[in-house]
Structure formats: C-alpha cells, structure tokens
Amino acid sequence: MNYWTVIHAAILHPALLSALIHQTGATDLDPGPHNALRPVSPQGGQIEWLFWLIFWICFIVYVLMVVGFGSAAAKSAAGTDEPPPIIEDEEGDRRASWFVGTATGVTVLSLFVVLVLSVIAEKRVEDTPKENAVTIQVTGHQWWWEVNYPNSQADHTINTANEIHVPIRTPIVILTKSADVIHSFWVPSITGKRDLIPGMSSAFSFEVKTPGVYRGQCAEFCGLQHAHMGFAVIADIPQDFEDWQQQQLRDAVEPVNPQEALGKKVFLTHACLMCHAIQGTQAGSRMGPDLTHVGSRRMIAAETLPNIPGALGGWIIDPQQIKPGNHMAPNGLQGEELQALISYLQSLK
C-alpha cells in the first residue's frame, strides 16, 4: 500500500481510510506512473521528443523576449514627461527594419519547423507495425471501461473491465467505441489521447517496451464522475500474458465453502444480476462490468478503490457516496448476506 492509495481513500471515503490503514497485505496497489515525460513505448517517445523540442524553442524565445524588453526598459528615459525629440537617422532606420524582418523570418521558420516535425511525429506514432497484433476492443461507459479481447471463436473471447493486460514488445491494436457520450482514452506513459465517439469506431496501436502498471484516465469531460474514470494498462512478459489469458477464459470458480455459496445465491437473487455478468452462472447482463474474475483485479470502481473486502463492501452498500451519480444502485443488503457476497466476489480469481 502506498501513500497515493491512502490519499485517494481519504478524499473519497474517509471511513475507508482506517480500514485501509489496518489492512495488511495490500501491497500491489501502486496506481503506476502517469507521466508523458517517462514514456515506455516508441509512440510515447515520439510525443516526448516533440514536447522537449517545443519546450526548448519556447524557452529560447522567452529568454530573448525578456532580454529584449529588459534592455529597452534600461535605455528608456524614464521620469520625463516630455516626448522624445524626433531624430532623422536613415542608417538607423535601415538597421531597425533589417532586424525586424530577420526576426519575423526566424519566427515563421521556427513555427514551420515545429509544424513539419509535429506532422512527422504523428506519422511515426500512426505507423506502428500491426503484424501479429493483439487486438483489444475498448468501450467507454459512464464511468468505467469495458475491455474485450475479441476472438473468432466465441468461447475464446475475454471480457473484463478497467484493467487492460498487454504483452510487452508486441503490437497492440485498440479498437474504440462508446456506449453513451464522448470519452477519451489516455495513458500518458504510452501514447496520446484518443477520443471514443458514440456511433463511430476507430483504431490505433502502440507497443509497450517495459513491463509495469501504467495508469490511464478519461481525458474528455463525460459527466459527473469523469474524474473517477480511470483504468490501468498492465504490461506483462508474453508468458505471463498467456497465463493471464488462460485464467480469464475459464468460467467463474464455484464456491468452496457455505459462506461463498450463500454469496453466490445473494448475487443471483438480488439486483446484482440485472447489470453484471458472471460467466458460468445465470448472470449475463452487459450493463455493468463483467465480474467473472473480479477477484483477480487490483482495483474496483474504475481505479477508484483498492480491491479489498472493506472497500468492496462500502462500494456495494453505498456506491452513490463514493461516486455520486454513477449507474450502480445502492442496495439494502444486511450483515450476513453482505459478508457472504463480499467473500464470494473476492473468491472469483
């Protein structure tokens, strides 16, 4: 557990903070870097290079402007109200117009260089090789991310939410869709922003070089909980990615003790199954995130809360306190039923 999780919890749900502090073993909750200046992909590298180029050009221009204004201020005859005398100086005028002309030329030229290099950088970001790519369908919802790994065989399709697992050093093609309003897919460490537009689908690709967890965020204002619409890209070595795929393809595990069995019964007889799916049970609705392997995720509620029993319970009982306006309804589950539901959901690895 790190300070970021604690700050998150403190802002969102003060009551959860104490639960978090007393929780042990929650170590891999690092939200991951969220930094366009430490890219982990060639695409992010192009964007970073362009950023520094524009930064240094602007920095030089800024220094020149400050020096110019400073020297002009030093020369001016401050403190006199009389207008300066008009001096006829043809040689001086010629030098002045030469200087202004050159400065204008340099300005236009540097802007032009920035334009051309931006186009080149964008072209290189687009030109990611797409052979043997892993294709991932990302659908933006208010306020979470649906993630599907399409496959020509229906039973090899993976459905998950808010966590995108990718293999490193492999081209990744992201297909975008939106279920309601415009969202924007942004993982600063990996690549630039891509809008998800309702009724339109688009595609883009990237490749991650370094294993790790990289935080993503919706970057287009999409309603009340836009700020809490996060996700994570989890880059693994190809072998780990294979293992993860195999695990995600399995049906949900069956309850192994009476408490989990009761939890499953609670899930299937209350409002849960109106919106959520658990593969291998009767629950098959696609309105909310797929919960078949929810126990294997790091965070819940779109990177808002750590996936620990306390946070999960708080979320189930009163989601409108944590993310007001979200589409999950509060429910009146009491003690034993709630505990059983939590342990069942946590068992869904």
Partner 1 sequence: MSFRSIYLAALTSLLFMVACTREDRILRPAPSSAYTLNTVQVSGLNPGANPVPPSPPPNIYQESAYAVSEGQRLYEQYNCVGCHAHGGGGMGPPLMDNYWIYGSEPQNIFTTIMQGRPNGMPSFRNRIPEYQGWEIAAYVRSLSGLLPKDVAPSRSDEMNVKPSESSMPKQTPTGITGRPETRP
- Interface positions with partner 1 (CB under 8 A): 180, 198, 224, 269-271, 273-275, 287, 318, 320-321, 324-325, 327, 329-332
189 within 8 A of 149, measured Cβ to Cβ: no
The 3-state DSSP class for residue 320 equals helix
Minimum separation from the CB atom of position 181 to partner 1 (A): 10
Is the CB of 234 or the CB of 302 nearer to partner 1?
302
Minimum separation from the CB atom of position 267 to partner 1 (A): 12
Distance CA 212, CA 255 (A): 32
Is the CB of 182 or the CB of 275 nearer to partner 1?
275
Minimum separation from the CB atom of position 295 to partner 1 (A): 24
143 cis-preceded (ω within 30 degrees of 0): yes
Is the CB of 7 or the CB of 329 nearer to partner 1?
329
Distance CA 327, CA 253 (A): 27
Strand order of the β-sheet with 134-141 is: 158-161, 144-149, 134-141, 172-178, 202-206
Minimum separation from the CB atom of position 339 to partner 1 (A): 17
* Residue among 230, 139, 246, 133 nearest 186 (CA): 230
Is the CB of 170 or the CB of 331 nearer to partner 1?
331
Q: What would the two tokens of residue 266 be?
A: 């609670």
Residues ≥6 apart with Cβ < 8 Å to 148? 136, 137, 139, 157, 158, 159, 160
Is the CB of 96 or the CB of 329 nearer to partner 1?
329
16 within 8 A of 9, measured Cβ to Cβ: yes
Is the CB of 57 or the CB of 179 nearer to partner 1?
179
Minimum separation from the CB atom of position 271 to partner 1 (A): 6
166 within 8 A of 185, measured Cβ to Cβ: no
Minimum separation from the CB atom of position 319 to partner 1 (A): 9
